[in-house]
Structure 1
Amino acid sequence: MDRLRYLGLRASSRLLRWVRERLTPAGRLALAGLIASAVWGVDTNVSMAYQAFTLLLCLLAAALGLSFMLGWSPMLRRLRLARVLPRFATAEQPFSCRLTVENPGAYPVRGLLLREEPPQARPSWASFHAAADPPDDRFHWVERLAGYSRWRRLLAPERATASLPAVPALAPGGRVSVEVRIVAPRRGRLALSAPSVGLPEPLGLALGWRRLSLEGSMLVLPKRYPVPRLALPGSRRYQQGGVALAAAVGDSQEFLGLRDYRPGDALRRIHWASWAKTGKPVVKEYRDEYFVRHALALDTFVAAGGPAFEEAVSVAASFACSVLTQESLLDLIFVGAEEHCLTAGRGLAGADRLLEALACAQPCPGASFEALATALLRRREGLSGCIAVLLDWDEERRALVRALRGSGVPVLALVVLPEGREAPAEAPDGPARFLQPGRIAEGLAALGSRGG
């Protein structure tokens, strides 16, 4: 029975998309009239509705035939299209891309339509069969019985939307640019297939479309939430990397004094006034490099990607943009196919680099959490503090938090719970904060009121 529901919903989804793309509003009205007249005119002895059915059927058949011919017409085939995409977009936030249309033909083109086609991923049979009905009462019992509530719930996160801009009349040899607004549903690589150009057929009931050869892609960054200003505890630590790394984060080296020149000393450290006074080279000596370095750890060890994992990535992205300062370093640490550690800070890289990495982060269903724990503990000597975005609060994760705090590294543990799971009444091992999908913004805002 569930298989029949899935096949019916998949077929109806394709049919509705075809109707939206192929028929104008007048054409959809004619189609509705065709269906109504077919119902009312079943008995030709009682009703004359069959005559309306015949008329509307002929009109729609003629309009669709003309639209298919129009799609193959030289007028549309000769059009040239160029697209300018931004470097990045943000999930669930609209962005603009610019399409330029050129008419190299000898005749003007009026009433042209543009259609940008983001990928439309339909739910697979496995995901539909495994999904549960949403707990709220937004859907009627008939929709739940038909499986539509599950279909909509699975389809919504995957659906990208784009506006259909009107194109001014194109003179022969003319060129015009229009702006298309697109909303990417989720982070990652957004592939845009070839856009289509279309014209209404003479009856005004159907549209003839022609797909042009122009593909493109861009990176969609994770959505972010407002994060309150947190006074993260921790002190400066000695950093391996020497003078160059300390200078990169804007940590002025403290002047200790003067000493005699030694082979290998940099020329820029020579104190010329003392050399002139003593007659021998003298250099300036500085203290070791100490500054603040925080770790941002993302837990990727979950059976499959879902709302909790996507929200965890968004939480990590929010902190990547807010914790990064001009006087500190931030290490983003997570495990994918391999261990990733990206360092951002003044003179090294900006938050964009961290967001790019988070946009491509994937869950690791078959790996052990020990890989992330080992990566963090190996770096604990140089850390001033750690923000850990976790997907569970089991013994492995508690042990990691205990080990870091036992080493003198303050830890802010944020646990993103799966849907439907309640937060524990009391978190052991100090302040672990629990966040629930759908209420992430409220949970992060509460961090400021609790003092981080």
Structure 2
Amino acid sequence: MPDRNPSSTAQRFAALRRRIRRWMRPPRRIRFSRAGWFFSAGSVLLGVAAIGTGNNLLFLMLGGMLGFITLSGWLSEQMLRRLEVRRRVARATAGEPARITYELRNGNRRLPAFSVEAGEEDQEEARAWVPVVDPGAWVTGRAETVWEERGVYPLETITLSTSFPFGLFVKERDVEVPGEAIVWPRTDRRVREPRPAGQRVRRSGEAFAGQAGARGEYRGLRPYRAGDDPRDVHWKTTARVGEPVVREYERDRSRALWLCLDLRAPEGDVAEAAAEIAASLAAGAARRGDAFGLATQDARVRPGTGAAQLERVLDALARARFRADAGRLEPPVPAGECVLVAASSREAGWGEVFTATAATGGGR
């Protein structure tokens, strides 16, 4: 589970369970492959037959098979014992594949390491495979995994493994490499452009409220994009070209868009929908080139523009911790100039309110 509340009792127990599991887990492990089970069973049967019959040829074959097993264990240990590993995690989005990059260095001066896999201790399905790591060389391997929920996921142990040389056994070695994966909320929710001074708008699954006001000077026409206000459709041009066309207005660039996310809600689908609405609004502002910032009970991101600003806002949203006992959200500027995103409608006086409901919270 993502670590959204490190101080909570549940998170402390989860961390304790992880420490106990790592303490009980041996740093070196060996697993039998299917071929290894057959080979080992055959060795046992051959040994029983050799002892029962006293046949020298059977003893000779048994010795060869046991030597084969011993050589396999020794070579697989040599592949892993001098390997160094580093991890780099790209920013991830909930529900989408995320890339983890592992950098391996072979500290052995003479012997290369063959057929090495690297992956997280608790993610057996996400493994990076490297065919060979030459002595003293660095090699990069990549793996993909999916985190279904936003949050901050602790990464503590990297498991290195190899089935070299004969594929009979899989030797594993754990390496402690502390880190974390920051998983952003989704930014693909269909939400229209916020207008804190605009008229009241209603949408299925989300509620918006605001006051009438200026919308800026008319700039021209452009093709319709998902989330545009239907009131802006220019029907004569739409009928002439056969595709939806909307009016576009200049925005006042001197005033930043403040997104205020109210964390006063229990964790669940509706709360996650509120985080995704805030992320989608921020992504829309970044695409338009608007200046935008974020305020919650726990964090505040100063207004800015561009992709870097969007990353800062998404990082803050990934760490946002919804809870019923959160204090009142204090806006950084007058509330009438802010856009409130909440799991439920609470207060009047905001420039515009995006409310997540059960309809928007479902279907994750």
Normalised by the length of structure 1, the TM-score is 0.48
Conservation of the 8 A alpha-carbon contact between 1:71 and 1:208: no
Among 279, 285, 303, the alignment partner of 1:317 is 279
Q: Does 1:22 align with 2:31?
A: yes
Q: Aligned-pair distance for 1:361?
A: 0.5
Identical pairs, percent: 23
Alpha-carbon distance in 2 for matches of 1:229, 1:367: 28
Structure 1 distance, partners of 2:321, 2:71, is: 43
**In structure 1, distance between residues paired with 2:74 and 2:108:** 16
Which one of 81, 84, 87 corresponds to residue 80 of structure 1? 84
Compared with structure 1, are the counterparts of its residues 91 and 30 closer, same or farther at alpha carbon in structure 2 (3 Å cutoff)? farther
Deviates more, 1:108-117 or 1:67-76: 67-76
Partner residue of 1:112? 115
Q: Is residue 2:172 matched to residue 1:209?
A: yes
Question: How has the CA–CA distance of structure 1 residues 196 and 349 changed in structure 2, closer, same or farther, with 3 Å as cutoff?
Answer: closer
**Higher deviation after alignment, 326-335 or 316-325:** 326-335
Mapped contact 1:222–1:313 kept (Cα < 8 A): yes
Deviation at 1:161, TM superposition (A): 6.7
Aligned to 1:91: 94
Which residue in 2 is equivalent to 1:146?
none
Q: Structure 1: how far apart are the matches of 2:37 and 2:276?
A: 40
CA drift of 1:117 comes to 0.8
Q: How does 1:125-140 map to 2 (within 5 A)?
A: none
How many residue pairs match? The answer is 265
Q: 1:85 to 1:26 in 2, by over 3 A?
A: same
Matched residue type, 2:106: N
Partner of 1:379: 334
1:217-256 to 2 correspondences below 5 Å: 217-230=180-193, 232=195, 234=197
- Give ranges in structure 2 of 5+ residues lacking alignment: 1-16, 42-65, 199-251
| 1:24–1:223 distance in 2 versus 1, CA, 3 Å | farther
Q: 1:220 to 1:28 in 2, by over 3 A?
A: farther
Which residue, 258, 262, 265 being the options, matches 1:302? Answer: 265
1:394-422 CA distance string (max 9 Å, x none):
xxx1xx13x33xxxx3x2432232xxxxx
Hey, what's the Cα distance between the residues in 1 that align with 2:183 and 2:307? Answer: 23
1:181 to 2:144 alignment: yes
Structure 1 residues 368-389: Cα deviation after superposition (integer angstroms, max 9, x where no partner): 5xx12xx2496135x1x52x32
Q: Please tell me whether residue 435 in structure 1 is matched to residue 360 in structure 2.
A: yes
Aligned to 2:303: 344
Tell me which amino acid in the other structure corresponds to 1:392.
S
Larger radius of gyration: 1
Q: Distance in 1 between matches of 2:37 and 2:281?
A: 48
Q: Given the alignment of the two structures, is residue 190 of structure 1 paired with residue 153 of structure 2, yes or no?
A: yes
SS at match of 1:335: coil
Query: AA paired with 1:351?
Result: L
1:391 aligns with 2:343: yes
Q: Separation in 2 of the partners of 1:437 and 1:67? A: 56
Higher helix content, 1 or 2? 1
The structure with the largest strand share of the pair is 2
CA positional deviation for 1:29: 8.7
Matched residue type, 1:177: T
Distance 2:161 2:253 in 1: 63
Between the aligned partners of 2:124 and 2:269, the Cα distance in structure 1 is 20
Do 1:70 and 1:201's aligned partners in 2 also have CA atoms closer than 8 Å?
A: no
Q: Which residue of 1 aligns with 2:319?
A: 360
Kindly provide the amino acid, as one letter, of the partner of residue 311 in structure 1: A
How far the C-alpha of 1:170 sits from its partner, in A, is 3.4
In 2: Cα distance, 1:353 partner to 1:180 partner = 25
Partner of residue 334, structure 1: 296
* Cα distance change, pair 22–351 in 1 and its aligned pair in 2 (3 A): same
- Structure 1 partner of 2:131: 168
* Equivalences for residues 39-50 of structure 1 within 5 A: none
Name structure 1 gaps, 5 residues minimum. Answer: 1-9, 34-61, 121-159, 236-288, 418-433, 440-452
- Aligned partners of 1:223 and 1:170: how far apart in 2? 37
- For the Cα contact (< 8 Å) 2:106–2:133, is it kept in 1? yes
Q: Kindly report which structure 2 residues correspond to 1:119-158, keeping only aligned pairs within 5 A, or say none.
A: 120=122
**C-alpha distance in 1 between matches for 2:354 and 2:254:** 23
User: In the TM superposition, what is the alpha-carbon distance from 1:67 to its structure 2 partner?
Assistant: 11
**What is the CA-CA distance between 1:197 and the residue it aligns to?**
2.1
Aligned to 2:249: none
TM-score normalised by the chain length of structure 2: 0.58
Distance 1:327 1:115 in 2: 40
- Identify if the C-alpha distance between structure 1 residues 29 and 225 changes in structure 2 by more than 3 Å, giving closer, same or farther: farther
TM-superposed deviation, 1:233 = 5.5
> CA separation of 1:347/1:211 partners in 2, compared to 1, >3 Å: closer, same or farther?
closer
